[in-house]
Amino acid sequence: MEQKEKAIKNIAVFVCGMDEEYPFQIIQGINQFAREHSINVSYFAAFGGIVKSSSFDAGEYSIFKLPDLSLFDGALLMTNTFSNPEVRDSLIERVKKAGIPSVIFECKDHETFHDISINNYSVMKKLVEHLIKVHGARVFHYISGPFANPEATARYKAFRDALSENGIEFDEEKRLYPGFFRSYDGIKAIEDFEKSGLDLPDAFVCANDSMALTAMSKLQDMGYRIPEDVIVTGFDNILNARNSCPTLTTVKRPLYYSGEKSCETLYALINGEERQRSVDLESEPVFAESCGCGGEDAESIRDFKRDMYLRLTRTYTSVHMLNRVIAELAGAENITECVGVIRNMLGEIECEDFDLCLVSNWETTYDTTTDKEHAPDYPEKMTAPLIWKNGEGRSVEVFESRRLRPEPLTTGGNISYFIPLHFGQRILGYYIMTNTDFPITSIHCHTIAMSIGNAIESISKLNVRDPLCGIYNRNGFNHNAGYIFRDCVMNETELSVLFIDMDGLKSINDTYGHKEGDAALKDLADAIHSSCRSVDVCGRIGGDEFIVLGKGTGFADQFEARIMSKLEKKEQEQNRPYRLSASVGSITIIPKETDTLLDLIQRADGVMYEVKKRKKHVRTRLQRG
């Protein structure tokens, strides 16, 4: 019993956009407390919302579906970093259902959770009132965060209330730019303002520093002086804000402490201790040069130069490394080569604990997703082609996805980051970095994840696509045909199986050479593929043998008519010295549970063989006649 009480505690943390300074500061506070108390922390981290692609975001957000929350002692929810409210709400419901102690950031809407909040409203209101009363600002432009985010909503409400209480009207339709807390939003907001033809406002008030800094830089590029021509303010007091030119008027928040406090609260709850349900932390405005105030002194010039030199050196080094990794991953033709590139990279970034975890059927994931709106769940089985520990690599052929790791941790105080690997919405797996700050200190962590995902997708594509004809090979056909077959069995729908064999390939190869034979095969494959609908599956399963699966009444006859027409057209267009033709055998059936796809293919093959025999018989009679 004593041993059970001393068991290592495991907590899950959910976060988006770890490369931003807000989550970075909080994560540092969480990690410090966790290490001091031997708590294992697992971060499930996505980078959704950075591109306008629901397919890409579905792949990113899949990582939140991975953990079995019943295996964790508690959870920290940084759902205020999520830009997608559906993903946020879905995760919150999962955590509630798990019934584990949980602490949520910046949200008081859920009685079942404890919460840690920093007062966004009062401090933003103070900042805006300062601009009005001290600097005489009357015309404002506002660059917001996503309104699905409670912090963004609170800051905007404070902004509007400060204006209203001082008798200032705000043209929301023209003077509001809806951003997403990303640096690039600041640039886009100023470009949007420039196109609008509006007069320059007295102040651009931004919902965070990342947007404020790029907005300020863009305005300076356009020739505006800050603050002489226009004021710019931010929110967060990040490093670059403290060292920008001019220094940025902003808000200082106790982010590190909020992370430490959240982990301390959760640890107490896990151990059965009582804690205050809501903790509200105060923040303070920092009036600096960008509004016309002296503000706090920037860091000493010597410290600033040293810091910038180190950051630039690390950036140049990591960019060169990243370019090389991307190029090498793009050239990898199999998983062994891909793993080799990753191993070399790990040495350069000084990561001693890394797991590459792929879905068990990753080799046949190419183009298999049928749900265009949501990524599928992780399968029950995973494989780990690379487990890297202290300079030594090994692999695990299969492990259960609910275990998360191919090899369990045996000690406490470990900090692990689970990063999704996907191509679009197709789940490929994830990688785990443990006991390294690379995921939160490098801006390249996500780029590496995307590059690994692209490389694995490319390798899987090679594994399921025929390199000559571009359509599915036997592996790809077998995997994808299963979806259609099972659907027809379940819904009692007619299924047509067509077996196609090219006529006279040996004669073409012998007479005109194999290059011409390959060209003829490619033309036939093109005719087959273009005769299929988007819901059909076709593949090359042998030298001159192809299969097509299609569902619905009359499909076989319609397909044969289309392909014969296309072959005739190709023959007319290319004027070959031989006839491009094929023999087609088909069967149409409503498959039953007792049927197998292999049996149906063999039956279609038998029909095709009879067709070919009849063709040969007719040719023989014509030659004799």
pLDDT of amino acid 51: 67
Other C-beta atoms within 10 Å of 24: how many?
20
pTM of the model: 0.73
Tell me how far apart the alpha carbons of residues 529 and 527 are, in angstroms, rounded to a whole number.
6
Strands 381-389 and 495-502: unpaired
Instruction: Name the token pair of 87.
Output: 């993903």
227 or 20: which carries more pLDDT confidence?
227
Predicted confidence band of residue 365 (pLDDT cuts 50, 70, 90): low
Amino acid at 568: E
Judge whether residue 600 has pLDDT over 90. Answer: yes
Contact 186, 215 (CB under 8 A): yes
pLDDT of amino acid 509: 94
pLDDT in tens, 259-306: 999 999 999 999 999 999 999 999 999 999 999 997 555 456 667 667
Local structure of 389: helix, strand or coil:
strand
pLDDT of amino acid 48: 77
* 506-511 own/partner pairs: CB under 8 Å, 24+ apart: 507/578, 508/578, 511/578
Query: What mean pLDDT value characterizes the chain?
Result: 89
Alpha-carbon distances of 432 from 410, 419, 438, rounded to whole Å? 16, 6, 11
Largest separation between any pair of C-alpha atoms in the chain:
107
Rounded to the nearest angstrom, the gap between the alpha carbon of residue 368 and the centroid of all alpha carbons in its chain is: 17
Strands 381-389 and 10-16: unpaired
Instruction: Name the token pair of 24.
Output: 């970075």
Among residues 104, 42, 35, the alpha carbon closest in space to that of 73 is found at 42
Contacts (Cβ under 8 Å, ≥6 apart) of 113? 77, 95, 102, 103, 104, 107
Angle, CA 501 vertex, CA 496 and CA 507 arms, to 5°:
170
Tell me how far apart the alpha carbons of residues 226 and 232 are, in angstroms, rounded to a whole number.
7
pLDDT, average across residues 152-178: 95
Rounded to the nearest angstrom, the gap between the alpha carbon of residue 466 and the centroid of all alpha carbons in its chain is: 28
pLDDT, average across residues 54-78: 93
240 or 455: which carries more pLDDT confidence?
455
Q: DSSP letters along 101-157, please?
A: -EEEES----TTSEEEEE-HHHHHHHHHHHHHHTT----EEEEE--TTSHHHHHHHH
pLDDT of amino acid 17: 85
Judge whether residue 375 has pLDDT over 60. Answer: no
pLDDT in tens, 309-363: 777 777 777 788 889 999 999 988 888 999 999 999 998 888 889 999 999 878 7
Tell me how far apart the alpha carbons of residues 434 and 42 are, in angstroms, rounded to a whole number.
9
Instruction: Name the token pair of 603.
Output: 């039956």
Q: Which stretch of DSSP H or E encloses residue 12?
A: strand 10-16
Judge whether residue 100 has pLDDT over 90. Answer: yes
Predicted confidence band of residue 385 (pLDDT cuts 50, 70, 90): very high
Q: Which residue has the tokens 């089985």?
A: 381
Judge whether residue 71 has pLDDT over 90. Answer: yes
Share of the chain above pLDDT 90, in %: 66
Predicted confidence band of residue 3 (pLDDT cuts 50, 70, 90): very low
